[in-house]
Structures are given as C-alpha cells and as structure tokens.
Chain A
Amino acid sequence: MNNNDDNNLRALIRESIAEPPANEWLTLRVVNRLKRRRTASSWLEKTAYGLSACVLVGVAVYICTDQHISISDITLWGATVGTLIALVAGIISDRIANLSEPS
C-alpha cells in the first residue's frame, strides 16, 4: 500500500468509528470506584494528631499531679486543647469535603 492508500484507509477508519459523546456516568462510576490512598499529607496529619494527643495527656497528668495550678498551667492547657480542636476540625472538614465529591 502506498501513502495514498494509507491516507484512504486512515480516512475510512476514522469515518467508520465515530467519537462517542462525553459520558458523564462513566466519569462518576470511575470516581466512585477510586479508593482513598494514604498520601503523604494524611500521614503528616495523623502523626500531628497523635503527637498532640500525647502532649494533651502529658499536660493533663502534669496538672492533675501538681499541688497548685498556676496561670501558666491553665494557659498551657488551653493552648493544647486549642491545638487539638484545630486538628480535629481540619480532619472533619476534610471528610466533609470528600463527602461533597460527585457520587
């Protein structure tokens, strides 16, 4: 076959196999089948969460065993709880964002 035949065959094949219209159901089905992977960011998030929980327990033990509670103890306690709440809020908002993905 020469180039002319090649071009004819190319044109015939392209004509005989039409491009189907975009199928949004296929996209949805694919996205729904994707599994959540453990990404670097999720590992970082979980490590930070675990460390904060350890610090929180440590501070609670320290305060409970201390004879007198000072202003700095309360500030430390507040800062730790605040950090923990911020982390939990971050995780929850992430989950909500995932739920709002097309399904």
Chain B
Amino acid sequence: VAALTKVEELRLIARCVAFDDHRAYGRLVEAWQPALLRYLHGITGGDIWLSDDIAQETFVKAYENLSTFRGAARFSTWLFTIATRLFLDSRRKNNNDMSLTEAAGIEAPDNGGFDARHDVAVALASLEPLDRSIVLLFYLRDLPVKQVAKIVDMTPGAVKVRLHRAKQKMRLTLENH
C-alpha cells in the first residue's frame, strides 16, 4: 500500500468529515494499518488477536472523532495516541500483564542458543505496559520525545526518565538471558 502524503491524507480526512465518505476512510485505514499493527504487535508481545481488536477499535474511534482532528499533527500521531490509550486501558482492566510472555507465545528458540529476536521480545515483555509503549514509540516509530510525551500524556522530562529506566531494565534482561 502506497504511503500517503500529508496533502492526500488531509484531502481524505476532509472527505470523511464533509461527506461521511467511508471509502476515503478505507484508504486511510489501508495506508496506516501495517504501521499500527506492527506497533501493536510490539506492545502486546505479538498477540495478533489483541492487536487486531485494538487496531479495529482505534480506527473506528478515530473516525467517530474525526471532526475534532485539527490537522496540526499527522493523522498517524493521532492514531497512535488512541491505540496507546486503548492498549493501556485494556491492560488496566485485565491487570494480568505479568503473563504477557506466556500469553503472547514467546517461546525459547529450539536451538537453545542466542536468538536476538526472542531476547528482545522477552526484554520488551519485562517492561511495564506504559514503558513498553514509550520504548516502541521512540525506537520503532522513531518519534521525538516531545511527541511521545504528547501521546502518553506526560511531560517530556518524565518520558526521558521512563525511557532511561526502561533501557536499563531491557539491558539487564538481555544480559541475563
């Protein structure tokens, strides 16, 4: 799916707001779902069902509130904000994040040796949901700290502190693994 330019994106959003154009929104969903699902796979520890549910809910919620979208930020930032909050809410409700590694099916590699992918997945799973979101928004989405702070509704300073602690925790997990 070809990426959309900001102008194309705004044109599609305008069509959705003015004419309730579901097809135009379908184009936005197509364009953004791979990146959103990738991020959701990361924060849910590879749980494809939960990722799918959150992605659907995110897109529907975004459409329902599209008239409040001001266009100053990218549509993607807005989507990732909704997705992150939905994920954190679902974790708060379930309150069973400790079983994430197990639930997500992160199994040890067959050869018993070093597997970077597996180790990173375990290191990510060892983090609190909020820290995992911050780490992935920063490293996977490549967003600046200021934007990450807006998404998780914190100050940039608090995000930097959490990012630093999360990196230390991940390093410890990677070293012990």
Contact = CB atoms under 8 A, between A and B. Distances in A.
B85 interface: no
A31 B140 contact: no
A15 B117 contact: yes
A90 to B, nearest CB: 14
Interface in B122-174: 124, 135-136, 139-140, 142, 167-168, 170-171
Residue from B20, B23, B42, B117 having most chain A Cβ neighbours under 10 A: B20
B19 A39 contact: yes
A1 B33 contact: no
Given A19-B34, A33-B56, A13 B135 contact: yes
Contact of A17 (B18, B38, B167, B168): B38
Q: How large is the interface on B (under 10, 10 to 19, 20 to 34, 35 or more residues)?
A: 35 or more
A35 B22 CA distance: 9
Interface string B38-81: 10011000000000100110011001100000000000000000
Interface in A11-68: 12-24, 26-27, 29-31, 33-37, 39-42
Given A9-B170, A26-B55, A15 B18 contact: no
Q: How large is the interface on A (under 10, 10 to 19, 20 to 34, 35 or more residues)?
A: 35 or more
A38 to B, nearest CB: 8
B33 A22 contact: yes
A26 B56 contact: yes
Contacts of A42: 20
Contact of A26 (B41, B52, B117): B52
B25 interface: yes
Contacts of B118: 16
B99 to A, nearest CB: 20
A-B pairs with lowest CB-CB distance, top 9: A16-B120, A16-B117, A30-B59, A17-B42, A19-B38, A10-B139, A27-B29, A13-B139, A39-B20
